[in-house]
Structures are given as structure tokens and as C-alpha cells.
Structure 1
Amino acid sequence: MAREIRLNAFDMNCVGHQSPGLWAHPRDRSWQYKDFEYWTDLAKILERGKFDGLFIADVLGIYDVYNGNGDAAIRQAAQVPVNDPLQLIPPMALVTEHLGFGLTASLSFEHPYPFARRLSTLDHLTKGRAGWNIVTSYLESGAKNLGQKNQTEHDARYDFAEEYLEVCYKLWEGSWEEGALLRDRERRIFSDPSKIHEIQHVGKHFQVPGIHLCEPSPQRTPVLYQAGASSRGKQFAAEHAECVFVAAPSKVLLKKTVADIRRRAAEAGRDPRKILIFNLQTVILGETDAKAKAKFEEYKTWVSYEGAMALISGWTGIDFSQFKPDEPLKHVHTNAIQSAVEAFSTADPNKVWTPNELADWVGIGGFGPLFVGSPETVADLLQEWVEDTDVDGFNLAYALTHETFVDAVELLVPELQKRGVYKTEYAPGTLREKLFGAGPRLPDIHPGAGYRDLAALRQQEKQAPSPQPMNRRSTHERA
């Protein structure tokens, strides 16, 4: 039986997102990113296409590696200007019933106590359709603007993230017991204080003594997304994430990445099949292959080389202005360049990559693969990638918005449904229930479930302090 294919849309509260230069195309709407109508129209389009969710990217900072400054990014609107993503979600939730929302929010620059309240509020307002894409931030410019001399070292950011999640788990899962909320009008008692607990967290980075300020939301902990390509990032995802976002440009690399994440999840005591992995993907569709190819050729004329270089330099930390546009990168013997090009070499081992070639690759849709063709052709490719790599679905980036998403909904989705590999109706319930077919809460084997009984947890810690609190299972399992 063919596997179900899952789709998210991939967007950002900015101009252009992953397709530098195409904001100038007369049919592109991304310049309207600051208007409610842009987002509510998009949400209704995606729900019509039964998309699982809208995955909203974000950065705190600008791409200022290329030429050592942010001029190129500013000129070409390469993810700047960029607005905050959280405020977009309530109006989109208001005009939809099922669509989920994956909010990218960095834990590097905000204390977990107010952040946990913000996410609980969002989960309430969306009736349990909120997800959190956990990122540690990678732009040096963002760190400096928030008072840090330099960006924290990569692995240290994940150590910080572990404690950040511990605080959030305690607030979301453990502070309010089941049954703490009474709403008893006759006795005039809204909540039972005996069932609401201070979390009394004292750690290396945070001291949070009090209770969670919010009553439990439909999911308590929002669906947890994570996007990290490094070994440390994949380990973090395997331990905590329910949905993982990757950006592999080839089947070879994607298969290796998916297998690695599932292996790590199993070693962490989780069910590797209960982690959904989505690859970055762009599709350009037409009624026929010829029409799709003509559309692609038209789009390419709008790509900005300078904008693409600003993005690539920011993503890799390599200033590509030091190379000539046609200089073969494989002959530049630095570890940084070799690692940056490695992913692309798996897409076409015989190709000699130059800055121009990289710009062509990322100019429409970013680092992920690009499929161009009729609904039948693209559906064949998506099914092939799912079967060959074990990936669960795709985060669809756009060339033009909302045109790319309308094409996906009107051309691709019906073809996938006809093949029986795409849902025809949404499942009921919260985002977690729709994705996994179980309850609205974190499963018992998830590490966050180990913080549901704080009193028992503290008693156990007094008796035998554990150096690895984040690996705990639920209290009843420990007993």
C-alpha cells in the first residue's frame, strides 16, 4: 500500500523568503506580507488543499556575511524587512478550522517563563492547532543586537536549549494538574490551589520558582518542530521533536538524514515512526510538462544573483563575494567550502559548482530540490522520494506567492488524492491528534511527559539526584 504524503506550506513574514528577486514579479504577493489579507487568503487556500499546516520561518538579524555587510540583503529584500510571525496566527486560525501552524521562535533571546505563556495563549486561541519550531538562532547580527558580543558556540546553544525546554515542560505539563480547573459557579471556586504547583526550577541558566500563569491549553505542550542539520541538532530533534524539518537537495542525502534521525530517536527510547520528517521542496506546476517548464523559465528571469549570494553566505557563514561567479568551488581547499558544497555534490556528483550555479540552485525555493512538471510528473517524483528515502512529507516553498500554493492545491493535490496517497478530509481534534491519530497530549514516552508529576519528581531527585533530567520518562513508567 502506498504511503500517505503530508504537505506543509513554508513561508515567512517577509518579502521573497526563499526566492530572492521574485518579489518584483507582477503576480507575486509577498510584498503584501504586512497585511492581514495576505495571510488569511493564504490560510484559506491551504485549508482548501488539506495541508497539514503552515510552517512559518523567522530570523532575528540580517544576512550580513556577503561583502561583510547587509547591503545586498537590504537591496534585494533577502528576508529583510521581516516582521514577527506570532501575530499572524490568530487571524489565520479565525478563518480556518483545521490548518495547523508551526511557529518559528528562537529560545536564544527570550526567557522561557513569558514565552511559555505566549505559546499557551496561542494554543488556546487556535483551539489546539499550535506548533513550535524550536531554533537556537544562527545569525551573528541577531546576537549582537540583543546584547551579546558574539553568537554562542553551536553545541553550547543546544545545551542551553535543553534547560529551556525543561522549564517549559515543567510549566506546561506539571504546574497545573488535571482537575485543577473547576469553574465551579455555585461554590465560587475557579481553580483548586492544591492542584497547581510552583515549578521551583533552579538551573544553570534559569531560576523559575512560580506557577505557570495559564490554565492548561488543549495540547498543553504545542506540537514540537525542530530543524537542525548538524549532529547535535539531529540528536536534539531525535530526543524532543515530533516533526523534523530538513533541507536535503538529493535522495542520497535525504535517505541518510532520515535514517540517522530515526536511529537516534529509537536509541532515545522513542518510537521512530512517530516522528514525522518533512523535506524542503519546491514544485512548479502546469497542466502539462511543457507549460510547467515555460513557467519555470519565466520565473528564472526574475532571480536575483545578489540576493541569492546574500542568503547563501548567511546560511553557510561563508562570504561568497571572495569568489568569482564562475570560479569552481571544489578547487578552493578550505574545510568550510568543502562542507558547504558537499550537500550539493550529492545532487549531481559530476557537476562543478560555482557561485553562479549555487545561485541558480537556491534562486527558486532555497536549498531543497525543485520539481517542474505536470501534476502527474510531480506526483510521481514525490512518491518516488517518499518510497526511496522514508521521508514523511514536504514543506513546500514558493516561487511566487500565492501562485505556487494555488497551483499545488488545484493541480497537485487532486492528483495525489486520486492515487490514494493524500487525505481527502482532515482528522478531528488538535494538531497533534490530526498528525498522529492519538490524543492531544505528548505521548508518555516523550521526555516532556516526565514532568507531569512535579511532587513525585522532586521526591525522586532527593533520593537519587539524576544528572540527566531531560531523559526522564513519565512518572508512572518510572514507578
Structure 2
Amino acid sequence: MTNEPKKLILNLFEMACVSHITHGLWRLEGNNRHRFADLDYWTELAEICEDGGFDAVFLADVVGTYDVFRDGPETALREGLQNPDLDPLLLVPAMAAATRRLGFGVTFSTTYEPPFAFARRMSTLDHLTRGRVGWNIVTSYLPNAARNFGLDGEIPHDRRYELADEYLHVLYKLWEGSWDDGALVHDRERGVVTDPAKVRYIDHVGAHHRVAGPHLVHPSPQRTPVLFQATGSPAGSAFAGRHAEVLFTGGRTTEQFQAVKRSVQDAAVAQGRTEDSVRFVVQAGVITGRTQEEAEDKWRLYRAHTSLDGILAHQGLPVDLTAAPRDITVAEAVARSGKDVGRSLMVPLDRTVGEVLDGIRAGNQERFFVVGTPDVVADEIERWLDVDGIDGINLRQYHSFGTAQDFAELVVPELRRRGRLPEAGEHTGATLRERIFGHPRLPEEHVGTRYRGGAHLGADTVPVAVPVAGPVSEPVAEPVAEPVTV
């Protein structure tokens, strides 16, 4: 008797802008990126994903402009680099109305906006989608984002995660503890809409937030949306062990990815969760065609249209290497610039400027990248699942809608044949959490459930985080802002 093959969590990675993470490719013939502010773009994309067997559309977001490169926002604006950028939460109801099964992961930052209003928006989305929504927890990393919300500069990385911890507990109190199931009764005979005995204040008084409650929305299908998180750092991994259900991470090697996975699993166990309580999703580049030549032709076309300026602006390089002589080292270029870059320049200092720029232009790829026929792609994805140990992918869009259509038409049938994806129409759960985990709400072992039934509400009720025993892996790049390496 053989074990059933491990199923792939399949998401499309998107963002409501022209240039997300495939810089310059919006210029490709037939690309629809210019339609990003058209509601029909999103409903059409949702229908492609639904019909093509995707589990969810994963929507990235930023709350600032990339203005470090060349000391201003001009390059990012010329490139359409995540600016203009629409609010991803507002796209979900339209996509949900056009589909019946597809899930949605939306990005929102814990750093700058109060938790009470956000709790209401997410509960609303969970109701409107009938439980098909997840939240990608981020803390925001752009200096301009901090200035947009009244700060002089970024809050330090690890400090942002400390702030996020209290933020999450406020949300859990609202989502899990403020209302009991069955509180909304709609009793016409007695003239009662909500049973007051089943609704309560949360009276949270913490170091950073004071929230009275009660929550403004009755319990939604999932109560707490599926908790995604994007990180690869030690602080982020420890936070994920406490809170995340699905971790979006990366790694240029199998070893990098597995180090992050191990650190998160250790952190989860330290919090009383099981080792398999977190699913691991990576950003994946998949370029496929009916023949190997067709797939390679697409990759050559994409590389020819890739914008070097777009990549450098996205990386936020504080030194403009394109203005330096190609034959000097990066270290010398930094010295000539007169800038104190610290550890922010994530390129090899001992390589020449020309070598670094040529490497970027050539499009060197990380571990989770494949160009080939459906058989070649499926073989590689099976290696990612069985050897690397991933649980799913966020598929990078090189061409909209060509990337999603190619994967749906060519790769999905092959993965289904191998048992890696459910068959078309196969029931896999009504809510997003059921689809991924088989149950609609947070498991009892999760820290968010400690507030159920009104337990542990009020001031000074946020538990102290349990540190992870042993060394934590070295950080790898955040998946939406890979460092430039050659």
C-alpha cells in the first residue's frame, strides 16, 4: 500500500499595480498589466484561477514608495514599480462574486494602522467570501512607508515584530472572544437581533493599544482568517512559530529554505503547537510551453524585456552601480559614492560592478525556478515537494494572463495526473482554512483560541512569547524583495 502523494497548495502571486516583481515585462505584447485599475481585470483573472485549479490569489501590498535608489522616487515611478498601487482588500469582494471556490490572501501591515478597524474589515471580507479569505501579516519595510504615517524613519525590524505581537492579540480578542457563536439570533417574535448575553467588551489595555470593543461584526465562517506570513528572518520566524498558519518564505538553495522551515517548526513546538501546524509556501518561477524550445523562447523574451533599473529600484540599492565604471569593484564604487551603506547593500563587494550588473541582467534565478514542458515542470515541482519539503507555491506572474493560463492549461493536468492537485470539481472544503487544513477555524493549540468564550480578556493578558531553544537560522531574503546576487 503506497502513501498518497503530497498535494500542492497552488496560489497565484499578484499585486494591484503595473510592475510587481517582473520588472519591465508589462511592455510585452498582450500583457494586461495596464488594466490593473479595471475591475474586469480582477474578475477575469479570478475566473482563470478558479477554472484552472488554483487554491488562491495571493495579493501583495506596500504602503510606501521605493525612493532609496538614486535618492528619490523617480525611477520607481517611471518603472511603475508598485506605484500606483491599489488597496488589495477592496478587490476581494468582486473576485469572490465571480467565483465559488477560489481563496484570497490579502496583505496588510500591523505597524501603522489601528487593529480595531482592520478587524472589522477582515471579518466583513470573511463573511462576503463565505470564509475564503486569508491575511498575509507584514510589518512594512520601506522608509517612505514610515514617513507616510508620521514617523521620521523606519521602526527597527525586530521591534516591528514586537509591536505586531500585541496587535495580533487584540485581533484575536475581537475575532475569537468578543462574540459567542449563536449570538445573532434574528428572533422576530421577541424582536431580538442579537443576544446581548453573548457579546462582550474586550477591554484591552496594552503597551501600544487600548481597545474597548465589542467587535462590530458577528462571528464569520472562519472567525480568524487564515494567517499567512511572509518572512525569512530570525525575528520573523519566531513570530511565525507563535502565529502563522502558512509561511511565505524563500531561499536560493534547499539548505536556506530548510533552515527557515526548521526554525519556524522549532518555534511552533516551543509555543505548544505541533511541528506540522505550519504550511510552507515559496515564490516560484514557472515558464512552460508545449515544447522545451517554446518554453525557452518565452524565457529569452522575458529576459530581453527585463528592466535593470526596475530591479535596482526594487532592491532599494543606496548606491547607483549603473553610474560607476564597470571594471572597479563594488566596494570601490561604494567608497567613491561617499555613502555609509552599512549592511544594506546586498551584493558581493569583491565582484566588479560589471559582473554584478551583468548577473542581474542575465536573470539568475533562485532554487524554485523551472523552464520546460509540463513533464519537466511537474518533475521539478515534485522535487520541491518531496526533497525540499515545501507545501505550496506562489506562482510569479511574468505575463498577465499568460502565466496563469499556461500553468492552468499545461501544468495543472499533469499535476492532477500525478495526484499532486485535486481533480476538477473535487470537494476540498468550503472555507480557505478547510481547503488547506481540513477544518474551518483555528485549532485549539493556537494562541488565538485562548480568548474563546471571553476567557483572558482585559488588560495585561497578552502572554509572553516563549523563546526558541537553540540557535535560530541566519536570515534569508524576504520573498517579495530578494537580494541581488550573482
TM-score scaled by length of structure 1: 0.89
> In the alignment, is residue 135 of structure 1 matched against residue 105 of structure 2?
no
CA distance in 2, matches of 1:324, 1:10: 36
Percent of aligned pairs with the same amino acid: 41
Aligned to 1:475: none
> In the alignment, is residue 336 of structure 1 matched against residue 340 of structure 2?
no
Task: For residues 209-264 of structure 1, give each alpha carbon's deviation from its aligned partner in whole angstroms, at most 9, with x where no partner exists.
Answer: 12001111111111110001210011111110111101222222122222222222
> In the alignment, is residue 65 of structure 1 matched against residue 68 of structure 2?
yes
Query: Structure 1's 89 and 467: CA in aligned 2 closer, same or farther, altered over 3 A?
Result: closer
Mapped contact 1:6–1:393 kept (Cα < 8 A): yes
> In the alignment, is residue 410 of structure 1 matched against residue 393 of structure 2?
no
Aligned to 1:147: 150
CA distance in 2, matches of 1:47, 1:318: 43
Amino acid at match of 1:358: I
Aligned to 2:463: 468
Structure 2 regions of 5+ residues with no counterpart?
Answer: 336-340, 349-353, 467-486
Aligned to 2:447: 447
Shift of 1:52: 1.2
- What does 1:41-440 correspond to in 2, within 5 Å? 41-313=44-316, 320=321, 336=343, 340-341=346-347, 354-361=356-363, 369-424=368-423, 425-438=426-439, 440=440
Structure 1 regions of 5+ residues with no counterpart?
Answer: 343-351, 472-479
CA distance in 1, matches of 2:284, 2:347: 19
Aligned-residue RMSD, C-alpha:
2.4
CA distance in 1, matches of 2:462, 2:199: 26
SS in structure 2 at match of 1:102: strand
CA distance in 1, matches of 2:366, 2:77: 21
Task: For residues 330-365 of structure 1, give each alpha carbon's deviation from its aligned partner in whole angstroms, at most 9, with x where no partner exists.
Answer: 998986268x358xxxxxxxxx96133134337xxx
Query: Structure 1's 290 and 310: CA in aligned 2 closer, same or farther, altered over 3 A?
Result: same
Mapped contact 1:39–1:88 kept (Cα < 8 A): yes
Query: Structure 1's 111 and 418: CA in aligned 2 closer, same or farther, altered over 3 A?
Result: same
CA distance in 2, matches of 1:325, 1:423: 51
Aligned to 2:483: none
Amino acid at match of 1:443: P
Tell me which stretches of 4 or more aligned residues in structure 1 moved more than 4 Å: 317-335
Query: Structure 1's 95 and 229: CA in aligned 2 closer, same or farther, altered over 3 A?
Result: same
Query: Structure 1's 254 and 110: CA in aligned 2 closer, same or farther, altered over 3 A?
Result: same
Mapped contact 1:66–1:321 kept (Cα < 8 A): no
Query: Structure 1's 324 and 249: CA in aligned 2 closer, same or farther, altered over 3 A?
Result: farther
Mapped contact 1:102–1:225 kept (Cα < 8 A): yes
CA distance in 1, matches of 2:320, 2:202: 45
CA distance in 2, matches of 1:5, 1:116: 30
Mapped contact 1:66–1:320 kept (Cα < 8 A): no
Shift of 1:130: 0.9
Query: Structure 1's 312 and 360: CA in aligned 2 closer, same or farther, altered over 3 A?
Result: farther
CA distance in 2, matches of 1:359, 1:8: 27
CA distance in 1, matches of 2:331, 2:225: 43
Query: Structure 1's 458 and 296: CA in aligned 2 closer, same or farther, altered over 3 A?
Result: closer
Shift of 1:368: 6.8
Query: Structure 1's 326 and 36: CA in aligned 2 closer, same or farther, altered over 3 A?
Result: farther
Mapped contact 2:247–2:280 kept (Cα < 8 A): yes
Shift of 1:110: 1.0
Amino acid at match of 1:169: Y
Task: For residues 352-397 of structure 1, give each alpha carbon's deviation from its aligned partner in whole angstroms, at most 9, with x where no partner exists.
Answer: 96133134337xxx87743111011111111112211111011101
Shift of 1:158: 0.8
CA distance in 1, matches of 2:324, 2:437: 47
CA distance in 2, matches of 1:220, 1:318: 46
Query: Structure 1's 418 and 272: CA in aligned 2 closer, same or farther, altered over 3 A?
Result: same
Query: Structure 1's 3 and 195: CA in aligned 2 closer, same or farther, altered over 3 A?
Result: same
SS in structure 2 at match of 1:226: strand
Shift of 1:70: 1.2
Amino acid at match of 1:230: S
Shift of 1:120: 0.5
Query: Structure 1's 261 and 469: CA in aligned 2 closer, same or farther, altered over 3 A?
Result: closer
SS in structure 1 at match of 2:363: helix
SS in structure 2 at match of 1:147: coil
CA distance in 1, matches of 2:248, 2:21: 15
CA distance in 1, matches of 2:443, 2:21: 34
Amino acid at match of 1:386: L
Amino acid at match of 1:356: D
Query: Structure 1's 232 and 200: CA in aligned 2 closer, same or farther, altered over 3 A?
Result: same
Query: Structure 1's 102 and 197: CA in aligned 2 closer, same or farther, altered over 3 A?
Result: same
SS in structure 2 at match of 1:336: coil
Shift of 1:469: 5.4
CA distance in 2, matches of 1:139, 1:369: 26
